[in-house]
Structure 1
Amino acid sequence: MKKNFVLFVLIAILSSTLFGEDKTKLVVRLVSINGAHSLNSFDLLRVIRTKPSSVFNKEYFDRRLVKFDAISLKTFCISQGFLSSTVKDSVVIHDESVNIYFNITEGNQVILKQAKVLGNYKIPESQILDILSLKVNNPYNPIALNKNLSELNNEYQRFGKLFNKINVYESVEDSAEVIIEINEGKDIYIKSFSIEGIEGINHYLAERELTFNKGEIYNKDKIDHSQRRVLEAGIFSFAQISPAPISGSDSTTHLTIHMKQFKSHEWQSIGGYYPIEYYEGAEPLPGAGAEIGWRNRSINASTTNLNINLAGYLIPSQDYIYPKITFNINIGNQWFLKRRIPTQIGYFFEKFKPYGQFKDSFIARYGFRIVNQNNLTERSYLLSELKWEKFSETENLEHRTYTLTSYIDRTDHPIISTSGYRLTGMFHMSGGILGGSKSFYKIDLGFNHYSIIVNNYIFAGRYKIGKIFGWDSSNSDDPQFDLFYLGGSSSLRGWDMMRFQIDEDTGNPSGDVFRIISNWEIRFPIFWIVGGELFIDGGMLSDKLNQDELTNYLWNGGFGITIATPLAPFRLDFATPFDGTDTWRIQMGANYIF
């Protein structure tokens, strides 16, 4: 019994020693990079992920991350020509905080003295050196050289040189000399192709999306374009085109097209808090929504699809919650009249309350539309819409419209952008040669840009200008949805939703025919999934543009808190107009304002 007790005590002591360690996390107090005399400290700090804690953001010590940062610093030094550089990390612990030091020995900087390309015929030497980032009399960067070899290979594949070979020879002492030896190989032609993974539908539905033909010279651009078109057909979840050499031939290839199909029938449902289109002339309003739909991706074993969707939305304001119900039936296909014209034909019905006029009766509108969308890239497109609609409350009111929209996205991420730009343009025609009871033209242009200031601090800007021509304001009973509106979490946050300009008689939101808006933000992390933003918004509404009207350009500013969610950031903004009053407004938003 005594032996068992002693054994129990020893096990308890051993367990407490092994597993009873203090789990308190160490807070990073200081991150210091020493020894770098030629390299910019700002650039070095951008390379590492370990950051010192701040008033807004508490960073915790991670030994593995420090080791990765040392490797990243070493890689960066090599990319700047310091090929013999060394990086050593050390850690000093003070109570519950830690200081991290990276000590860099740069060594001599190697300059590229000579770069020569041999065996190239299709692509000039200057272009090859540019692709490989080889600049004579500049620091030698072997990191970029090796990284960009695949891009050079892709460039050759655009010329049919599918089986090219590229060798790099370098001589490095006090300076560097590089020779790029290229064996372009023969022009490769497509002899045959096969499709795998299709069941229950005709292979022709996939083959017609291919932009290459048998007997043509191999072209990587056409291969990539074909893959994108196959996915756009709407019935395939995966598409990959893989070339393979043909035995006994050194100038032909066989292409295997691997595909996976979606389920042909499915129910879809989504819900949450997100931007909702309410008025054509206002930015999307944040609100709660739920949608349910049924989709047939392949009617009668074709690429014609049928979508039926029912949605309900609740848009909060300072006084009421405004409901909106929509119902849509759409039939679509990438092909129309034997030509590839991505087209959707549909019926729509909407019922909602006029914003700011909760006590008024519901408005119901319905109609038909034909939509054509041409995808320029994965996230850029050109869209046209021809629409006919009527309003159930006013039988004599009939709108016939044509809208052309362009969307060019050159950002690094479609939702949380940190670099790049977006361009938007919209031309809208109502009535005119189309007929209908109301005639006017609208043009709306926009530009967004994003850039990294330092570390994870992002500067973002948005500018929009729009004008309506030929608007007849004599009949105030006509729906005012196409006018421009401002105010709220999606435009000018220092004003209530759509109440930047109000009707003096009714107190309802008032729109106008000319609008300018500008927004600037600095976005930054605080801790965990919480981020912050500082912003300034400016804008104006007017019935004309002249120098006197520009004095009505009003501003607001404030700060916001963002919470990262699996889909998009949730935003809570605090804003005040710069008009001398001390009035603050709280705005909720889904996703960033732009």
Structure 2
Amino acid sequence: MRHLFTIALVSLLLAPPAQAQNDVRFQVLGGDEALRDALIAASRLQAVTDEEDSASQDIVAAARSDYARLLAVLYEQGYFGPDISITLNGREVAGMSPFDRITQVRSAAITVEPGRAFRLGRAVIAPLAPGTDLPEGFRSGAPAGTVILRETTEAGIMGWRTQGHATADVGNQQITARHNEAELDAEITLAPGPVYRFGTLIPRGEERMRTRRVLRIAGLPTGEVYDPDEVDRAADRLRDTGVFTSVGFTEIPNPDGTLDVQAELVEAPLRRVGFGAEIQSQDGLTVSGYWLHRNLFGGAERLRFDAEISDIGAQNSGIDGFVSGLFSRPADLTPDTTLELGFRIEHLDEPTFVEDTASINIGLEHQFSDELTATAGVFARYSDVSDNFSERSVWMVGLPLGLTWDSRDNAFDAASGWYADATLTPFTAFEDGGGVRATADLRAYYGFGEEDSTRLAGRLQLGTVDGGDIAALPPDWLFYSGGSGTVRGQDHQSLGAMQNGVQTGGRSFAGASFEIRQDLFGNFGAVAFYDVGYVSEGAYGEGASDWHSGAGLGLRYDTPIGPIRLDIATPVSGDGTGEDVHLYLGIGQNF
């Protein structure tokens, strides 16, 4: 016997692997096409046999696991009396002995008879917290399935958790399938548990970050009634600092009715650098870079320096450039308020003016929610200007106010949602009076088709300057149109306005952009776009005005840092119509 066992063991070890069966005979006798697609997608056997050089043990293991996989899909869609058959070489896999050895797979077949689709009979969940919103599908006569049962249970538990019952859970559940009637009875009993109040946040894993600052930034409301939204918000505040690569919370109920939260933190590297480049046929090359320190003094203070050189080799302007720095400190006044201190030194050599500017600013940013952010601050700036009016120096102070709403699903390549940014800046230019400058940037996105393969994107830009002597205002505070940020296909800042007989910028601007974005294959996509820009002499669109437009096609290639963008555009109306072709190459969607 010992010799026979040794021979058998050697035979098993030396047995050749099975060749992959390239096709599984997959039959679904009933249901619809969506059910068939879901079953095929869940099948591990289907996936393994599509691979080359699959070993026999892998094929057998995949076939055995498919019973549970397919059954889970059927239960999710309300089929509680199915019949599943999986065979290899004509033998039912469920009947094979674990000691059976298959050296070659010649055929594989899966046959599923879903049976009748069940509907809910008795559908009860209790007790429920006041205001609990259950899924509409949890009612007698509605299609049954484990998905609706799971969603209903989660909604019931969350209803109690939002009332302070942090340990709410399922107390008991009775699920009965009545096959003759094809009905599923579901009786779910919830156990709310006691009401808890927030205890202490207990950080773990912080090294360079000071514990006191972790508590301050998280802003967990100690002593208040437990609220799961507050837990999520505290975690998000810590993530938003950029100091941590990982933030995980564990809730710890205490016998005294308080609930501590343990924060498992993993700190990110202190420093980060980045680089970017963009090239346009008319405006030349733009190169940029930044250096970032995430945790300067151990309190999540962030210091960032940016530098950019643009219009290198531009046809109609000189080289522009800037250097800027920004120090920010989160949780300065409240857990949701960030203090910012910054400076910027900039040189602009544009078609109608040359300007050198230095500015400093201090401000506060407050995040009301995941979507809504407000800013307020004060700045002072000095500009040395040479334009068609004169050569002059301009001193200016202002009080910028801003409001941003961002509900996009993806800031780099949105398929749904809205983005709105509005600014209002009262200002005073010394010896030349004051006024107000206002801007708005509105964007909307809508995706449709399989996995939002087709996306519509629209953008509306508005701006106006009311007040101030036109001959004394900094020229970069006036509005121009043309170029990648406004109207592609038109020369950079080619559209301005006549002011007192001098060609310069306008006091008002309106621009609109429309894009159709289409996924093609793999990481490639295509874009068709149309842009239009309008500039007027006076504030709020008053006075002499003009407009122009451009259109074109683009190619996109998705990368982890955003799509690589290649656009080709030409003027449609305005100067240069039908004569120029402009090329734009950069990273990220145009808006």
Structure 2 counterpart of 1:270: 274
Q: Map 1:89-168; keep pairs closer than 5 Å.
A: 107-120=115-128, 122-124=129-131, 127-130=132-135, 133-146=137-150, 149-150=153-154, 152-166=156-170, 167-168=172-173
* Structure-2 residue corresponding to 1:281: none
What residue number does 2:236 align with? 228
- 1:369 to partner: Cα distance: 0.4
Q: Offset of 1:184 from its aligned partner?
A: 0.8
Deviations 1:14-66 (A, max 9, x none): xxx999x9xxxx9x9xxx99988866x7x99899999xxxxxxxxxx99369x
Q: What does residue 256 of structure 1 align with?
A: 262
What's the secondary structure of 2:143's corresponding residue? coil
Structure 1 residues 205-258: Cα deviation after superposition (integer angstroms, max 9, x where no partner): 233334445544322222222223344556555443322244xx3844443233
Indicate which of 152, 176, 195 corresponds to 2:203.
195
Report the counterpart of residue 463 of structure 1 in structure 2.
Answer: 459
CA contact (8 A) 1:48 1:72 kept: no
Q: Provide the aligned C-alpha RMSD in A.
A: 5.1
Q: 1:492 to 1:200 in 2, by over 3 A?
A: closer
Is 1:518 the counterpart of 2:516? The answer is: no
Q: CA deviation at 1:576?
A: 3.9
Residue in structure 2 matched with residue 93 of structure 1 by the alignment? none
Is the 2:356–2:384 contact (alpha carbons within 8 Å) kept by the matching residues of 1? yes
2:295 to 284, 297, 321: 297
1:228-247 matches, cutoff 5 A: 228-232=236-240, 235-246=243-254
Corresponding residue of 2:378: 386
User: What CA distance in whole angstroms lies between the structure 2 residues aligned with 1:377 and 1:466?
Assistant: 25
CA separation of 1:38 and 1:233: change in aligned 2, threshold 3 A: closer
Give the secondary-structure state (helix, strand or coil) at the position aligned to 1:226. helix
Structure 2 vs 1, CA of residues 546 and 198 (structure 1 numbering), >3 Å: closer, same or farther? closer
Q: Which residue does 2:189 correspond to in 1?
A: 181
Q: Secondary structure at the match of 2:449?
A: strand
Equivalent of 2:286 in 270, 285, 288: 288
| Residue identity matched to 1:169 | Q
1:92 aligns with: none
- Is contact 1:574–1:587 with CA below 8 Å preserved after alignment? yes
Quote the offset at 1:429 in angstroms.
1.9
State the shift of 1:415 in Å: 1.1
Aligned to 2:583: 586
| Amino acid paired to 1:531 | G
Work out the CA distance in 2 between the residues paired with 1:295 and 1:478.
36
Partner of 1:405: 402
Question: Contact 2:508/2:541 (CA < 8 Å) preserved in 1?
Answer: no
Distance, in Å, in 2 between the alignment partners of 1:577 and 1:49 is 48
Distance (Å, rounded) in 2 between the aligned partners of 1:44 and 1:377: 42
Assess, with a 3 A threshold, how the Cα gap between structure 1 residues 442 and 260 changes in structure 2: closer, same or farther.
same
2:357 is aligned, of 358, 365, 370, to: 365
Aligned to 2:322: 326
Instruction: Report deviation, 1:75.
Output: 7.4
Q: Following the alignment from structure 1 to structure 2, what is the Cα–Cα distance between the partners of residues 340 and 542? A: 40
Once residues 162 and 434 of structure 1 are traced to their aligned partners in structure 2, the CA distance between those partners, rounded to angstroms, is 59
What are the equivalent positions in structure 2 for 1:68-107 lying under 5 Å apart? 81=78, 107=115
- Give the aligned partner of residue 63 of structure 1: 50
Separation (CA, whole Å) in 1 of partners of 2:544 and 2:167: 64
Amino acid at match of 2:514: N
Match of 1:481, SS? helix
Cα offset, 1:459, TM superposition: 1.6
Counterpart of 1:289, as a letter, is V
- Counterpart pick for 1:496 among 478, 484, 491: 491
The CA distance in 2 between the partners of 1:328 and 1:460, in whole Å, is 35
- Check conservation: 2:439, 2:463, Cα contact below 8 A: yes
2:174 corresponds in structure 1 to 169
- 1:552-588 CA distance string (max 9 Å, x none): 7765443211122331111112334445847644332
Query: How much does 1:270 deviate?
Result: 1.4
Q: Deviation of residue 391 (structure 1)?
A: 0.7
Amino acid at match of 2:396: H
Instruction: Answer whether contact 1:274 1:591 (CA < 8 A) is retained.
Output: no
The one-letter code of the counterpart of 1:259 is L
Provide the residue aligned with 2:424 in structure 1. 428
* Deviation per residue, 1:500-522 (Å, 9 max, x gap): 56879999885450304131313
Deviation at 1:442, TM superposition (A): 1.2
Match of 1:532 in 2: 526
| Separation of aligned partners in 1, 2:292 and 2:502 | 42
Whether 1:569 and 2:569 are equivalent positions in the alignment is no
Q: SS state of the match for residue 204, structure 1?
A: helix
Call closer, same or farther: CA 1:485–1:242 in 2, change over 3 Å. Answer: same
Distance in 2 separating the partners of 1:33 and 1:379: 47
Rounded Cα–Cα distance in structure 1 between residues aligned with 2:41 and 2:319:
45
Assess if the C-alpha contact under 8 Å between 2:479 and 2:496 holds in 1: no
Gaps of 5+ in 2: 1-15, 43-47, 53-62, 87-108, 386-390
How much does 1:525 deviate? 2.5
Residues of 2 paired with 1:494 and 1:194: CA distance? Answer: 56
Q: How many residues align?
A: 523
Show CA shifts across 1:438-475 (max 9, x none): 42331414131231223452222223141415255742
Conserved in 2, the CA contact under 8 Å of 1:514 and 1:543? no
- Is the CA contact 2:338–2:365 (under 8 Å) kept in the aligned structure 1? yes
Summarize deviations over 1:262-304 as a string: whole Å, max 9, x none: 56xx55421122699xxxxxxxx995323243637243x555x
CA gap 1:218/1:337 in 2 versus in 1, 3 angstroms: closer
Stretches of structure 1 lacking an aligned partner (at least 5 in a row):
1-16, 51-60, 90-100, 277-284
| Equivalent in 471, 477, 480 of residue 485 of structure 1 | 480
Check conservation: 2:454, 2:518, Cα contact below 8 A. Answer: yes
Judged with a 3 Å threshold, the aligned counterparts in structure 2 of structure 1 residues 560 and 235 are, in CA distance, closer, same or farther, namely closer
Query: Percent same amino acid among aligned pairs?
Result: 13
Q: Which amino acid aligns with 2:553?
A: F
Alpha-carbon spacing, 1:437–1:526, altered in 2? closer, same or farther (3 Å): farther
| CA displacement 1:294-342 (0-9 Å, x = unmatched) | 637243x555x36262513224676268533333344432354789741
| Pair 335,202 (structure 1): closer, same or farther in 2 beyond 3 Å | same
